[in-house]
Amino acid sequence: MRCFLPLCFVSLFFVGRLVAQEQLFLFGLKGGVPVTPALPGYGPENPGLDTGRWTVGPSVEFHVIAGLWVEADALFRGYKVTGSFVFVPAGSTSPLYQSFDQGVKAWDFPLLAKYRLPGACLRPFIDVGFQETHESSDYAVSYVYSPEISTGAGSAAYEPPSNYSFKGSLGRRGPVAGAGVEFRYRRFRFDPEVRYTHLTPNINQVTLLAGVGF
C-alpha cells in the first residue's frame, strides 16, 4: 500500500505530460455578452430595459480526429429586464399601467462538435451542437389604474397599486451553432466567437464570446 500511492501519483504525472504534449484535451474559460434581447416581444411598442447581461464559465475540449473536437461548456448567465406598458382591461374605460421587474439566472450546457480549419497563426473554426438550459427567475409586478386618461365615456375609479412577486424556474433546450477564429500567444490560446442559439419555446440568442485557454 505504501508503494501503491506514490506509483499512482507518478503514473498520473506522466499521463498528464503525455496528454499535454499530444493536446488531447484543452481547458479554458469563456465569457461574453448577448447582442439580442433577453426575452422576445420587447420593442418600440412594448419597451423593456434589458440590463446586466453577461455569461461566463469553464470550457473543455476533447480531440477526436484531425481538426475535429468535441466541446462541452458550463456557462452561467444572468440578466434583468424592467419596463412598463399600458393596456385597457375588458369592461373598463381606464388604462391599466403595468410595471415589471424580472431578474434571471441561468446555466447553459452546450455540447458541440467543433472543427478547426488548418492554419499557422490563425485557425478559423465552426461548431454545431445542442444546448440544455436551466433558468430561475424572480418576478415583481405592479398594476395601477389611472383615472386621468380615459378611452371612453366615464372613467374607472382610481385603485391603489396592486403588487405581487413570485419565483419560477424552467428548462429550455435547442440547437447551437457558431463560428470564430483561434490564435495563440505564448502558452495561451484565444478564440473569439459568435454563437447562435435557438431555445424553446421561441427564443433566438446571438452571443459574442471570448475564450482563453491552454
Query: Following DSSP, what letter does each residue of 61-129 receive, concatenated?
Result: EEEEETTEEEEEE-EEEEEEEEEEEEE--TT-SS-EEEEEEEEEEEEEEEEEEEEEPP-SSEEEEEEEE
Q: pLDDT per residue over 20-70, tens digit each? A: 445 788 999 999 988 887 665 554 444 456 666 789 999 999 999 989 999
154 in a structural domain: yes
Task: Give tens-digit pLDDT for 172-201.
Answer: 899 999 999 999 888 888 999 999 999 887
Nearest-angstrom CA–CA distance, 77 and 65: 32
* Residue 64, domain member (yes or no): yes
4 within some domain:
no
Residue 24 CA to residue 17 CA, distance in Å, equals 11
Under 8 Å between Cβ of 113 and 68: yes
Task: Identify how many contiguous H helices and E strands the chain contains and give both numbers.
Answer: 1, 10
Residue ranges making up the domain that contains 150: 33-109+134-175
Place of cell 480549419: 117
pLDDT in tens, 123-148: 999 999 999 999 887 777 666 655 54
Let me know if residue 71 belongs to a domain: yes
pLDDT score, position 175: 96
User: Do the domain assignments include residue 119?
Assistant: no
8-state DSSP, 43: B
Highest mean pLDDT among 74-78, 157-161, 166-170: 74-78
In a domain, 6, yes or no: no
Do the beta carbons of residue 29 and residue 211 sit within 8 Å? Answer: yes
